[in-house]
Chains A and B, each alone.
Chain A
Amino acid sequence: MEIEAKSHPLDRYLRAERIPHIWCPGCGLGTVLNCFLHALEETNINLKNLAVVSGIGCTGRVAGYINVDSYHTTHGRAIPFATGLKLANPKLKVVVFSGDGDLFAIGGNHFIHAARRNIDMTVICVNNYNYGMTGGQLGPTTPLEARTTTAPYGNIEHPFNLCHVAAASGAVYVARWTSLHVRRLKESMKEALNKKGFSFVEIIAPCPTAFGRRNKEPTGLETLKYYKEHSVIKHGIDPAEADIEMGGDIIVGKFVDIEKPTFDEAVHELIKKARK
């Protein structure tokens, strides 16, 4: 069957020739990308100066669909790559778009140090509780007791609370939403994009193919229903109080929004002094 493709108001942000994307039905990534493109449109960022950097995994493929300078790097290394990119060209607005495994397991060390330095970049992390692309293995965010291909008896590892890690490491902006909260998510993305310094947005998103069907949520719709019933908005709370548990509430909202000098400003100030 031939399907006639109609143009979309956000087409100019996409590499249309690369669509359809690789993501599964029911996956949250399309929604998150849509929110991001709307955020771009509403913030009027000069696309010429926007660079998107991804690591490896399903979320890692975001870079390949956005029609800007985009870099699909190695597993876990999106943040240090983005650090070099931003420091070499301070004009750039640099966004790192990657998954929970990429950013917090293999790339965890880079995440905490970029946050500590307060490198001027926005990190968007889609957290689907598992390694989706490789078939649904345990990740650093898999809730206790959840079943994955490498935790067939249920997960016995304590997961990271990503917003707590980000805040404790020094991020100046920290927010969490689910992929159901499209308007609030878009607003947070706009705030993060406009924020000077290391800003972090976590999105809890369904992965029916690799995670949901092993955990009694075989479709994306069921997971979205769960978000609807269990999300609790608590702006400004200590992110330490926002742990995620299997079957528990998901606390969402904006947790951190502070001002702090960035590494970028400091390094260019230092250069000015050294050149005198």
Chain B
Amino acid sequence: MKKQIKFYSGNIAAAEGALVAGCRFFAGYPITPSSEIAEHMALRLPQVGGVFIQMEDELASMAAILGASWGGAKSMTATSGPGFSLMQENIGLGAMTETPCVVINVQRAGPSTGMPTLVGQADIMQARWGSHGDYEIIALSPFSPQECFDLTIKAFNLAEEYRVPVIVLMDESVGHMFEKVVIPPKDKIKIVERKKPTVPPEKYMPYKAEDFVPEMACAGEGYNVHVTGLTHDEKGYPQATDPEVQDRLVRRLCDKIRKNEKKLRDIEEYEMDDAEVAIVSFGISARSSKAAVRLARQRGYKVGLIRLKTIWPFPDEYFEKLADEIKKFVVVEINYGQIKLEVERNVGRDKTFLLPKMGGEIHKPDEIYRKIKEVYNGN
């Protein structure tokens, strides 16, 4: 098998990435600007033996992909802000029942119906905190169609490895942008499968984990598993009035992600070797930021770019360490300061600056450049 070169939009690249990763079930509901993903899956899934279903809403879509995952399939949905809001309920069920699945959110400008056809990046905190209770998910953010392909595969692999819903936080600009996408030969792509129980059914403890992540028996495999959104013990049985069981469960659900932050960390550093000021950005905003860094470097400013590919868990330790080396951080994002909160939490308020956009347009490199100049010169 040779590598293939395609000309894909980010949305199509993400759908193709899902297929390569082994996705065989898609449930979704039409919504701009993510609909091309559903349309492409409707066309392509049957060709590889997978099932596509258009559900009655996003509540149902999210519930269906959880069901499909317990039916043994790698499953996915794709949506945008308003649909992502409806999915929060069952993202919580997915986190609680440790169900591998992938949710793509092609972000548009909000709140509410907002600007359906135009870019936004304001669902960062919703991705992390959208459902009720304490839980952790993983969120990845691609900045090109190539990365939509690569990171969607990675999202499936992480979902299987950590048994958690993984969110791909795309944005309208990346989703609709067409670029060259290189599809590596099959044997060069790493594919991860969920751990299966090795013990007989009578010895199987569905929620007992040696290394945070339990083995998963699916429906029809003879393990008679009980899966519940109630607080449950290692056997999977409800213990909804026992704070000790709650303590054990919630700690493990959070720690399986928190304690693996370093492993999950995925950051591109650009011109950071001697940087005094660092831009922090992600998705489409990181592309404008990269151009701005080049512009500033040509004019002698020691500035670099920290591009977050893994947004959640947030790389706290990485930023804590950088706080000593970097004088100032400029967060460039299409929202009114969400990643900025995370950065300033780690490096301090006095060192953190924000260049926001409220949505509907991307940053121009020269406005980022002007902000760099302003921050650099201490104004």
Contacts and interface: CB of A to CB of B under 8 A. Distances in A.
A63 interface: yes
Contacts of A86: 67, 71
A81 B228 CA distance: 12
Contacts of B55: 80, 83, 113
B227 interface: yes
A207 B106 CA distance: 46
B227 A271 contact: no
B71 A84 contact: yes
Contact of B27 (A73, A76, A84): A84
B336 interface: no
Most chain B CB inside 10 Å of its own CB: which residue of A76, A79, A84, A86: A84
Contacts of B291: none
Contacts of A263: 53
Interface stretch (A88-96, A124-132, A208-216): A88-96
A92 B75 contact: no
A64 interface: yes
Contacts of A34: none
A10 to B, nearest CB: 15
A72 interface: yes
Given A69-B219, A74-B90, A81 B66 contact: yes
Interface stretch (B43-51, B170-178, B281-289, B313-321): B43-51
B140 to A, nearest CB: 23
Contacts of B224: 67-70
Contact of B230 (A15, A18, A53, A72): A72
A113 B60 contact: yes
A198 interface: no
A235 B228 CA distance: 37
Contacts of B68: 84-85, 87-88
Nearest to A88: B71
Contact of B64 (A74, A83, A267): A83
B259 to A, nearest CB: 28
A263 B56 CA distance: 15
Interface string A91-111: 110000000000000000110
A244 B127 CA distance: 45
B90 A109 contact: no
Given A81-B67, A110-B60, A48 B229 contact: no
A70 B24 CA distance: 22
Contact of A77 (B53, B59, B71, B222): B59
Nearest to B43: A274
A89 B70 CA distance: 9
Contact of B228 (A51, A64, A267, A273): A64
B200 interface: no
A71 interface: yes
A85 B53 contact: no
Contact of A113 (B46, B51, B56, B66): B56
Given A49-B220, A82-B67, A110-B56, A88 B51 contact: yes
A48 B51 contact: no
Contacts of B24: 88
Contacts of A77: 59-60, 63, 89-90, 93
A270 interface: yes
A48 to B, nearest CB: 5
B57 A81 contact: no
B237 interface: yes
A71 B67 contact: yes
A83 B219 contact: no
B73 interface: yes
A76 B229 CA distance: 13
A71 B49 CA distance: 26
B162 interface: no
B219 A51 contact: yes
A6 interface: no
B358 to A, nearest CB: 33
Interface of B: 24-25, 27, 46-51, 53, 55-57, 59-61, 63-73, 75, 89-90, 92-93, 218-220, 222-230, 237-238
Given A74-B90, A77-B89, A88-B73, 5 more contacts: A71-B226, A89-B71, A92-B220, A263-B53, A274-B47
Closest 8 CB pairs of A and B: A84-B67, A88-B71, A274-B46, A84-B64, A84-B68, A80-B60, A72-B228, A80-B63
Interface of A: 15, 18, 48-49, 51, 53, 63-64, 67-74, 76-77, 79-89, 91-92, 109-110, 113, 263, 267, 270-271, 273-275
